[in-house]
Amino acid sequence: MNAPSLEELLADYPIRFETPVAWGEMDAFQHVNNVVYFKYFESARIAYFAAVGFAEHMEATGVGPILASTSCRFKRPLRFPDRVTVGARVRDLAEDRFTMLYRVVSHQLGAVAAEGEGLIVSYDYRAEAKAPLPEAIRAKMLKVDPGAADGELVADPC
């Protein structure tokens, strides 16, 4: 039986961000520091926002995403040299918020190194208040990431 391919490991994640692991991302324990995983998540999140036009929308209207909370479960330590592909998908798409799920896959290990989540709220930066997710963005999300409205999470992400 073969190990799953990167493609299989990320099959459910329509948005991908790939980056080399930098030597300098390792800490004194000689593996990639825990903080760096959130940098990987951020890059995947930004790639998702770019894919659905949320960044441009924010510049034009002042309504954009805000990260309310985020979490990471570490599965396998990462070491240099390696490359990672980070997958992102959305679940629990609601009126003014959604949950983004991340999966970090190590090319070297051929395995999932970490999984995480972020709760993202739609926010009107000019009015300084929560705002409904713009219809155009919601439509684009459902097109790019058809599972976005599925509610597979039983509880709020912490």
**Binding segment for a second copy among 14-22, 87-95, 97-105, 136-144 (CB under 8 A)?**
14-22
Residues 139-158 within binding reach of a second copy (CB under 8 A)? 155, 157-158
What whole-number distance in Å separates Cα of residue 139 and Cα of residue 30?
Answer: 44
Query: Shortest distance, CB of residue 123 to a second copy, whole angstroms?
Result: 11
In three-state form (DSSP H/G/I as H, E/B as E, the rest C), the secondary structure along 83-116 is: EEEEEEEEECCCCCEEEEEEEEEECCCCEEEEEE
CB 25 within 8 A of CB 32: yes
- Specify the stretch interacting with a second copy by CB under 8 A; choose among 25-33, 84-92, 97-105, 136-144: 25-33
Distance CA 103, CA 113 (A): 8
Q: List interacting residues with a second copy (CB under 8 A).
A: 17-20, 22-24, 26-28, 30, 33-35, 38-39, 42-43, 46, 50, 67-74, 80-81, 117, 155, 157-158
